[in-house]
Amino acid sequence: MNFLDLKQVMSKTRASRPYIYLLISRNAFPRPVKFGSRSAWIETEVEEWMRARVAERDAKGAQHA
């Protein structure tokens, strides 16, 4: 299991810190794991979230075809 820090999550998703935390507050993005005062995300959960965004895009595209 690999963990990502916030900078890595931002780089991987191309999302800003405020947007990531907004999505978390809406239960629309994986919640981080706390290690004391630090937070980390499970890489596979972030990748699953990214795949789901692609699937949503593809499903919307298929509806309009």
* pTM (predicted TM-score): 0.86
What are 31-63's pLDDT values in tens digits?
999 999 999 999 999 999 999 999 999 998 667
- How many angstroms separate the CA atoms of 64 and 44, rounded? 30
Here the tokens at position 64 are 């309009």
CATH fold label, 3-63: Recoverin; domain 1 (1.10.238)
Q: How confident is the model at residue 10 (pLDDT cuts 50, 70, 90)?
A: very high
Which stretches does DSSP call E strand in the chain? 3-4, 33-35, 38-42
